[in-house]
Structure 1
Amino acid sequence: MKWEGINEFVAVAETESFTLASKNLKISTAQVSRQISALEKRLNIKLFYRTTRKVTLTQEAQLFYRHCRDVLDGLEAAEQAVTNLQSSPQGSIKLSAPVTYGEQKILPLINDFVQLYSEIEVVSDLTNNRIDLVEGGFDLAIRLGQLKDSSLIAKKLAVRSNFVCASPEYINKFGEPHSLSELKHHNCLLGTRDYWRFNEQGREKNIRVKGNIRCNSGIGLVDAALKHLGIIQLPDYYLQRHLDSGKLVTLLDNMREAPEGIWAVYPQNRYLSPKIRLLVDYLQENLQE
């Protein structure tokens, strides 16, 4: 009797929606509502404030939720511990990652991971949009650079560096900039921002630049630079093979901004199961290599 309504309560608390909770639990919204009502009656407290747009926890329910979450996490850990004694890791993992980084770095490692653990299913959704992990039912997401959402738990997997570079042919024709002020004399090919980031004498600095090409594709900007059309600033995973081959060369290296983190993030109230921890550790080990 004490367990009735707990799963429904936690699901509504985490999604802030009876409808989303019912979808995650694969039961009807009416069933969720009945269980919540019965739980409120049994506890003799009000659990949620409800409006047409949102469902929020009452003060009493916030305390109750923390204990319920700990209990459910402990139960899942106990079940997983027993399962691990008898079988290899298994189950489904839903992951989100940025498009280009996901295609170049994450998906190849996911494929290798699934080869090692064939009973684990990984569902990858590549998008550059900032998604709500709980609402979307994601176990974790890969995010780049500075993290803005403090409600997420983050584990650093690796780092990325931004390089300013151009083709040797462009430099031979237009010269090499040796200071940030000289960039105004060059054709700087832009992405989604109209400024580039640098570190000058230990201070972060944003410099507005201009050029005759602007697009939201790093691959497109690399192609333009390879065709000697201008200077670009992009993360290393776009550029490394072209730098290694000498088709592009780096500029203003002494003012390159500090490396940024590449993170695996997941909600604070989402239990990190052994299979997910296994994937996160695998990504960290191989991305650092």
Structure 2
Amino acid sequence: MSRWDGLDEFVAVVESGSFARAAEALHVSSSHVSRQVAALEERLQARLLYRTTRRVSLTEAGQTFFARCQRLVEERDEAFLTMGDLQNAPAGLLRMTAAVAYGERFIVPLVNDFMADHPQLRVDIELTNRTLDMVHEGFDLAIRLGRLNESSLVATRLSPRAMYLCAAPSYLERYGRPHTLSELGQHNCLIGTSDVWLFQQGEREHQFRPSGNWRCNSGQAVLDATLRGFGLSQLPDYYVVDLLQKGSLVSLLEANQPPNTAVWAVYPQRRYALPKVRLLIEALKSGLALRPEYRCERAD
């Protein structure tokens, strides 16, 4: 009996959430998966999974063992891929995540273009505004916006991301234009996903907590409310650059604009060795550079 026996089945059950889905992913029977996991528990003299008719969950021992096993299985599979014919072509399953609105508008179309060139690739894209645990949840790649938190993950910058404080001319005609950061508190602010707006004040970063009578966790909805003259908003360049050039919106407090943040591709370090991850990142970087929303005058 190999020490690998049961590991693939155990990892598949945890990642898929059921014995039936694990069996489907591994192209074996559910009874085979059950036997292999049971034999693994017997060999370890430890219970790894709680089983009910509705769900499967990890025991405390199972949580510890799964964290190690998942890395072992991934690194084994990647070692074979690196040495095989797949080294030169994207193939297999690529799991990635991105924010909902940005993913729909920018990322998914570029991924679809990439897949059209590499039909042997399979993708599983989860669009969510939650920051997912990439390693624990088995993602190869995440697209993240703005500033990154410290982590063990590697990040590649895909494009700049400038933030603009703006308002519709109709709002400014009624309520006037703020000329300093201290005047922002006198204005109705349209609040999106962030409770804090960032600005540059000399050499320091200034944080402003907006308040107003309107809030929505959609950038497109914030933009619509801004165009209707409901208040001030702070939005990324790809929402507003064209509208600023047309005069539909007015850029405010330009001397206090925060330094560019960015759009990032984030991934576990070892994943970059895989062609499916490395080449997709390059395709995303090239594709975003061609988008008209990013062709603004701000320095990169």
Which bracket does the TM-score occupy, shorter chain normalised?
0.7 to 0.9
Q: Which residue of 2 aligns with 1:229?
A: 230
**1:166-203: CA deviations, max 9, x gaps?**
11232233222111111122221112444321111121
Does the CA-based 8 Å contact 1:18-1:32 persist in structure 2? no
- From 47, 59, 73, the counterpart of 1:52: 59
| C-alpha distance in structure 2 between counterparts of 1:208 and 1:38, whole Å | 56
- Secondary structure class of the residue paired with 1:230: coil
Q: Which residue of 2 aligns with 1:77?
A: 82
Does the CA-based 8 Å contact 1:95-1:123 persist in structure 2? yes
Q: What is the Cα deviation at residue 49 of structure 1?
A: 12
Q: Which residue of 2 aligns with 1:177?
A: 178
Using the size of structure 1 for normalisation, the TM-score is: 0.78
Does the C-alpha gap of structure 1 residues 204 and 55 become closer, same or farther in structure 2, counting only changes over 3 Å?
A: farther
The two structures, once aligned, show a CA RMSD in angstroms of 3.7
Unaligned runs of 5+ in 2: 51-57, 291-300
Does the C-alpha gap of structure 1 residues 229 and 7 become closer, same or farther in structure 2, counting only changes over 3 Å?
A: same
The aligned amino acid for 1:171 is L
Does the CA-based 8 Å contact 1:18-1:33 persist in structure 2? no
Identity rate, percent? 37
**1:211-265: CA deviations, max 9, x gaps?**
2212222111111111122111111122222123221121111111122232222
Unaligned runs of 5+ in 1: none
- How many residue pairs align between the two structures? 278
- From 30, 34, 42, the counterpart of 1:30: 34
Does the C-alpha gap of structure 1 residues 277 and 270 become closer, same or farther in structure 2, counting only changes over 3 Å?
A: closer
Q: Which residue of 2 aligns with 1:285?
A: 286
The aligned amino acid for 2:79 is G
Q: Which residue of 1 aligns with 2:216?
A: 215
Does the C-alpha gap of structure 1 residues 108 and 4 become closer, same or farther in structure 2, counting only changes over 3 Å?
A: closer
Q: What is the Cα deviation at residue 40 of structure 1?
A: 5.5
- Secondary structure class of the residue paired with 1:287: helix
1:101 equivalent to 2:106? Answer: no
| C-alpha distance in structure 1 between counterparts of 2:136 and 2:20, whole Å | 7
Does the CA-based 8 Å contact 1:163-1:233 persist in structure 2? yes
The aligned amino acid for 1:5 is D
Does the CA-based 8 Å contact 2:271-2:277 persist in structure 1? no
| C-alpha distance in structure 2 between counterparts of 1:175 and 1:275, whole Å | 52
- Secondary structure class of the residue paired with 1:55: helix
Matches within 5 A, 1:86-165: 89-148=90-149, 150-165=151-166
